Amino acid sequence: MNYSESNGGLALFTKEFAKNPYPAYEKLRETDPVYPITLPDGQRGWMITTYEAAMEALKDQRMIKDFSKLFGDQMGHRSVFTENMLFSDPPDHKRLRGLVQKAFTPKMIAGMRGRIQEITDELLEKAAERPQMNLIDDFAFPLPIIVICEMLGVPSADRDKFRIWSNSLIEGSNGENAERIYEHMNEFTGYLGSWFAKTQENPGDDLISQLIQAEEKGDQLTERELYGVVSLLIIAGHETTVNLIGNGMLSLLQHPDQFEKLQSHPELIQSAIEELLRFEGPVEFSTSRWAGEDFEFKGQAMKRGDIVIVALNSANHDPLQFENPDLLDITREKSPHLAFGTGIHHCLGAPLARMEGEIAISSLMRRFPAMKLSIDPAELEWRPGMIVRGVKEIPVSLYPSR
Ligand code: HEM
């Protein structure tokens, strides 16, 4: 298919697609693995759906992340919130990632294990008082927020503000409610500015203090980069792990044989988490890449300025890579899924996300062994949007019915 036939016959980016994108992906993988699309705002681009093409695209440095190289600063494309490694190319990327990595160390993450278990237990203790819970609002959403806020050193009284600002940042990336979002962003940068100043004078052992102090060969993060990095960590901490826990539990509840297997073999939790990430990944599409020049990719002519989107959940259901890809099998061996991306932008928070997922899902299953979905899965409302895959609510009953 060539560019002029883009989106031909396939209703991408609709509610139906959000509900179940897999049939569309199957068709695209077979016929158009690099598929011409037009985004709702008219932007021309490509969607990549096979595992092989996804691996190549995620590593292809002709597809760039820093869109200011193409568009300059027009339409606020490059704001302080994108001044971080996710929106940078080499050599800036290496420098930014290296500085953040110095603060976000495996030791710091491993040191959070006990605290994550405590927060989990507190949330479940509260939920246990009622016969029903909404897995998202009552558990999957608050857990990663509390964790990232504690790591960063956000006072608990300010956590709700962070939730509002994080939502605005995400909505802003969808181009919605410009005025309100602008206001929230000003509040957010104001808050961060005074917080950075206080921390500089009086550093502690939290992540912000480490980020401010991180240094490589005399080089440090600038104030704008600190805004960019902190907002990225906050968004990543708010919007992704919630859906690992939510989608993961949903998949297990819809596959009682796998739920029971994990219950009787809790030692399978690590391979279960990998399979849940593959089966219904929390990040539907990679963040955008842009063709930095005209070139050919898998037989398609990409033009400078085209947007390139990698459908990670499609790659993770590619039968050429995964045997019986639509089967949920928590004992699946060797599962090189792309839920965390690959290449230089591979998720920096993957060890933290995996640890949170393991603790959350094992604890839920231990505490509420008779948990059941109390909604018809066809009624579940999948969140619209371009990047994250998750449902708004997952009502469950916690105890056996008498
Ligand atoms: C990058 C997924 C949790 C921090 C990414 C990318 C993916 C991803 C797919 C690459 C995007 C691309 O190449 O376009 C996930 C999933 C998560 C998760 C599925 C939860 C299950 C987290 C957490 C943090 C985090 C908890 C930190 C608090 C980052 C950062 C990057 C990133 C900093 C940018 C890395 C770079 O550009 O070098 N993540 N993420 N992520 N993630 Fe995550």
Whether the CB of 104 sits within 6 Å of ligand 1: no
Whole-number pLDDT of residue 322: 98
- What residues pair up with 391 in beta bridges, in sequence order? 382
Quote the pLDDT of residue 72: 77
Q: For the ranges 1-15, 158-172, 269-283, 323-337, which has the lowest average pLDDT?
A: 1-15
pLDDT recorded at residue 171: 66
Query: What is the sign of the dihedral through the CA atoms of 374, 378, 379 and 380?
Result: positive
Q: Is the CB of 282 under 6 A from ligand 1?
A: yes
Q: Is the CB of 349 under 6 A from ligand 1?
A: yes
Please state the rounded mean pLDDT for residues 388-394: 94
Q: How far is the CA of 154 from the centre of ligand 1 (A)?
A: 21
Which residue reads 């440095």 in tokens? Answer: 61
Examine the predicted complex and report whether its ipTM is higher than 0.85: yes
**Domain spans of the chain?**
3-397
Any ligand 1 atom below 6 A from CB of 149: no
This prediction has a pTM of 0.94
Q: Mean pLDDT over residues 188-194, rounded?
A: 89
Distances (CA, A) of 224 to 67, 173, 182, 287, 314: 17, 18, 17, 21, 35
> What 3-state class would DSSP assign to 34?
strand
Q: How high is the pLDDT of residue 160? A: 84
What's the CA-to-centroid distance between 142 and ligand 1, angstroms? Answer: 18
Higher pLDDT, 250 or 12: 250
Q: What is the pLDDT of residues 67-125, one digit of tens each?
A: 888 887 654 445 677 889 999 999 999 999 999 998 889 999 999 999 999 999 999 99
Residue 12 has pLDDT above 50, yes or no: yes
- Measured in Å, residue 240 CA sits from the centre of ligand 1 at 8
300 lines ligand 1 (CB under 6 A): no
pLDDT tier at 127, thresholds 50, 70, 90 = very high
Query: Which of ligand 1's atoms lies nearest the C-alpha of 342?
Result: 13
Does residue 143 line the site of ligand 1, with CB under 6 A?
no
CA angle 22, 24, 27 (to 5 degrees): 110
Q: How far is the CA of 236 from the centre of ligand 1 (A)?
A: 6
Q: Is 340 in the pocket of ligand 1 (CB under 6 A)?
A: yes
Provide the CATH number for the domain formed by 3-397 in this structure.
1.10.630.10
CA 53 to ligand 1 centroid distance, Å: 20
- The answer to whether the CB of 286 is under 6 A from ligand 1 is yes
* CA distance between the termini of the chain: 57
Check if 54 has its Cβ closer than 6 Å to any atom of ligand 1.
no
Q: Which two tokens stand for residue 157?
A: 């009284």
Nearest CA to ligand 1 atom 23: 349
Most confident of 105-109, 165-169, 368-372, 384-388: 368-372
Ligand 1 pocket mutation pick from 240, 245, 307, 316 by most atoms within 8 angstroms of CB: 240
Pocket-testing residue among 347, 387, 388, 389, ligand 1, by greatest number of atoms within 8 A of Cβ: 347
Residue 163 has a pLDDT of: 80
> What is the distance in A from the centroid of ligand 1 to the CA of 340?
6
Q: Which residues contact 351 (CB under 8 A, 6 or more apart)?
A: 106, 109
Residue 188 clears pLDDT 80, i.e. is over it: yes
Do the beta carbons of residue 301 and residue 294 sit within 8 Å?
Answer: yes
Quote the CA–CA distance of 175 and 274 in Å, as a whole number.
33
